[in-house]
Structure 1
Amino acid sequence: MAVLNVHERRLPVPPSVVGALLDTLASEDDRLWPDESWPAMRLDRGLAPGAAGGHGPIRYEVAHHVPGQWVRFAFTAPASFEGFHEFTVRGDTGGSVLRHTLAMRTHAMARVSWPLLFRPLHDALIEDSLAKALAEVGGGAAPVRWTPLVRGLRRLLARFASG
């Protein structure tokens, strides 16, 4: 099954400011990834191409990085995810657009687990990331409300994680 999942947020600051946020991903001072509420993004060598890591059960490596503009991560696990996710920054009238794109083919059990489990959690995580970016650049901190499904999945996963 082919998946294309896009989220974006307009930010009232120049692309250089948003690009600086992007370049903090997986660092000690990560100002983009919402690790206050979600598993942290970790990479073994920062945003350098070839760096390996992930968040939670999702594993990937840095495929490309243009500082301040673009970073692409190629999935390495689960094996049933074949593709990438990326953040891009582009200029827009009076500000910037921060976009997250996930493009992949799912195989085997991921044809079921993506729409039922991973997609709702992914969508909530990325919306939290975009809200964090907006708050970081002084654009306000409108809270993201998780759906009942996302809250339920998080409770269920927390039970499994705690044994």
Structure 2
Amino acid sequence: MGVHNVHERLLAAKESEVGALVDSLSAGAADRLWPHPAWPPMEFDRPLAVGAKGGHGPVRYTVTSYVPGTWIRFAFSGPRGFRGFHEFTVLPVDEERTVLRHTLAMNPRGPARLSWPLAFRRLHDACVEDGLDRAELACTGTVARPARWTAYVRLLRAVARKLH
């Protein structure tokens, strides 16, 4: 069972503006892409660069490729059974519009064959859409169609809070 999950948003912004959002990942208060504080913070053991290790919540990864302002790929190291990567890509459409794409590709093994479809997929989708909302807000000052959490996502988050 392979997973290929793609989210993208067309932003009324120059490629350099959208690229700067990707470059701001895990930069604390300067991070304008990661949807904090609604989600566990994205943190790394060093500044964003190839080899940086970190993650968010139980999801762990290492930066395996990074072209500043253009593309960053993270290889999963956890949770158990997550084998693959996720990445952000900046795709210019023209001088004033850019697509920000998030792609997750993995082959879940062992416990991830259940945890991905039952919990992580829905949480992932909600988190990424919240991040794309932040990107749109940073680029345009507004969000045309804000993401909404489903009742199931709210339930999963409530259970996760009780477990931690």
Structure (1/2) with the larger strand percentage: 1
C-alpha contact 1:12 1:139 (8 A) present in aligned 2: no
**What one-letter code is carried by the residue in structure 1 that aligns with 2:140?**
G
After superposition, the CA RMSD in angstroms is 1.0
SS of equivalent residue, structure 2 residue 38: coil
Partner deviation per Cα, 1:6-38 (whole Å, 9 max, x = no partner)? 000000011111001110001121110001200
Q: Does 1:110 align with 2:112?
A: yes
Aligned to 2:48: 47
TM-score normalised to structure 1 length: 0.96
C-alpha contact 2:80 2:110 (8 A) present in aligned 1: no
C-alpha contact 2:80 2:112 (8 A) present in aligned 1: no
Q: Following the alignment from structure 1 to structure 2, what is the Cα–Cα distance between the partners of residues 129 and 117?
A: 19
Instruction: Using the TM superposition, give the Cα deviation of residue 63 of structure 1 relative to its aligned residue in structure 2, in angstroms.
Output: 0.3
**What one-letter code is carried by the residue in structure 2 that aligns with 1:78?**
P
- Equivalent residue runs for 1:15-54 within 5 Å: 15-28=15-28, 29-54=30-55
Q: Does 1:10 align with 2:10?
A: yes
TM-score normalised to structure 2 length: 0.95
Alignment partner of 1:156 out of 151, 156, 159: 159
Identity, % of aligned positions: 54
C-alpha contact 2:59 2:78 (8 A) present in aligned 1: yes
Q: Following the alignment from structure 1 to structure 2, what is the Cα–Cα distance between the partners of residues 108 and 76?
A: 14
SS of equivalent residue, structure 1 residue 47: coil
Q: Following the alignment from structure 1 to structure 2, what is the Cα–Cα distance between the partners of residues 71 and 134?
A: 19
Which region of structure 1 is more displaced relative to structure 2, 134-143 or 29-38?
Answer: 134-143
SS of equivalent residue, structure 2 residue 147: coil
Aligned to 1:136: 138
Instruction: Using the TM superposition, give the Cα deviation of residue 139 of structure 1 relative to its aligned residue in structure 2, in angstroms.
Output: 5.0
C-alpha contact 2:32 2:138 (8 A) present in aligned 1: yes
Alignment partner of 1:121 out of 120, 123, 127: 123
Q: Following the alignment from structure 2 to structure 1, what is the Cα–Cα distance between the partners of residues 107 and 16?
A: 33
C-alpha contact 1:2 1:105 (8 A) present in aligned 2: yes
SS of equivalent residue, structure 1 residue 121: helix
Partner deviation per Cα, 1:54-84 (whole Å, 9 max, x = no partner)? 0000100000100000000001112301010
**What one-letter code is carried by the residue in structure 2 that aligns with 1:158?**
R
Q: Following the alignment from structure 1 to structure 2, what is the Cα–Cα distance between the partners of residues 110 and 7?
A: 21
Q: Following the alignment from structure 2 to structure 1, what is the Cα–Cα distance between the partners of residues 161 and 55?
A: 19
